[in-house]
Amino acid sequence: MKKKIAVIPGDGIGPEVMKQTLRILRFLEEKFRHEFEVEECLAGGVAIDKEGVPLPDHTLKTCKDADAILLGAVGGPKWDHLEGTDRPERALLTIRKELGFFANLRPATLFPAMKDACPLKPSLIEKGLDLMVVRELTGGIYFGEQKTITEKNGKKSAYDTMFYHEDEIRRIVKIAFEIASKRKRKLLSVDKANVLESSRLWRKTIIQEAKNYPDICLEHMYIDNAAMQLIRDPNQFDVMVTGNMFGDILSDEASMITGSIGLLPSASLDADQKGMYEPIHGSAPDIAGQNKANPLAMILSAAMMFKNSFDLTREADIIESAVEKVLDEGYRTADIYSENTVMLTTEEMGQQVLDTMKNM
């Protein structure tokens, strides 16, 4: 199979975890005689430094022309003083919006060997954990009107607007219903309908849409309760669907139940399964450049690319099985290290996954 892949390593640990992922990509290309035309491009802080903007035009064009995009992470303290539209994160938001990647799938799966790294009581995760957070990604408060106003006396005020059109809600909840219908037929919609008008529209819309999915059990929960319930008993949930900001927060929370944010991949998809694949974590400035980052979330994001955008399930399965085996054998990066396991660097973890794949 011939595919064009736009690769954005980005900032901080982004390039470190991407490097390991590209080695795996090259291995699968050779093993299964694919042709992956990889085009590396600049976005984020590194693009600001080299080209003066977070998302150069040619990067956006490369993304548009590609069959899929892999993104490490963007941002970092060096660029934190910049205004909203000049910041590294703007690159990510613009790619998502311009390419219509409205459906963000964030699977939180607890690998059997990772039970020790989960901070919850063992009894809560005896059966493991397999959650899917479906996050709306191109609307809501991230993309509503925002402004800072300076008064004559110099004092400032600022606002962000949480805006949803019912069509935006409908298309994301449809995806969530479809996913739920292939899993446990249970869907939790998370909102703040007791306070927010946009949440009330969200709830009305999903209730209407539920009529097309009579075999799915739909429930609703307010975001504050959902955040609490996720820690109290995560296994009460299966698929959760929510807006942009609530999904951002809930998925970081869910990631910790699986042991580390360094393990959680994501797919950001349009209606035709074209997508950008990115770990849910950021550029981790506190450990950047130290060869300490966990590359597994990025590697598992590539597996999601094979499955969702290329329909290459065999390749995706090999990656996922290799990651599971490496963890079973006790190999860990610093974020998931515990007694009686073997601590590896980022590079060594990438190598371990690669060696395991070679022997499969």
Residues designated as active site? 142, 192, 224, 248, 252
11 burial type by CB count under 10 A (0-12 exposed, 13-18 middle, 19+ buried): buried
- Of 92 and 263, nearer to ligand IPM (C-beta) is 92
Q: 275 near 267, Cβ under 8 Å?
A: yes
**Residue 24 to residue 320: CA distance in whole angstroms:** 12
Judge whether 152 is annotated as a binding position: no
* 11 touching ligand IPM, by CB under 6 A: no
Q: Is 80 known as a binding-site position?
A: yes
CB of 141: closest distance to ligand NAD in angstroms? 16
- Strand order of the β-sheet with 68-73 is 35-40, 2-10, 68-73, 275-277, 267-269, 103-109, 130-136, 239-242, 186-191, 217-222
* Binds 144: which of Mn ion, ligand NAD, ligand IPM, none (CB < 5-8 Å by kind): none
**What minimum distance in Å lies between the beta carbon of 13 and ligand IPM?**
13
CB 355 → ligand IPM: shortest distance, Å? 30
In whole angstroms, give the CA distance from residue 61 to residue 73: 19
Distance of alpha carbon 245 from alpha carbon 222, whole angstroms? 13
One of 92, 141, 326, 344 touching ligand IPM (CB under 6 A) = 92
Could you say which of ligand NAD, ligand IPM, Mn ion, none residue 283 binds, taking C-beta under 5 to 8 angstroms by partner kind?
Answer: ligand NAD
What's the rounded Cα separation, in Å, for the pair 286 and 29? 34
Per CB under 6 A, residues contacting ligand NAD are 13, 17, 73-76, 89, 92, 261-262, 278, 281-287, 293-294, 297, 335
Tokens of 298: 């990025």
Interface with ligand IPM (CB under 6 A)? 75, 89, 92-93, 248, 280, 282
Residue ranges of the binding site for Mg(2+): 224, 248, 252
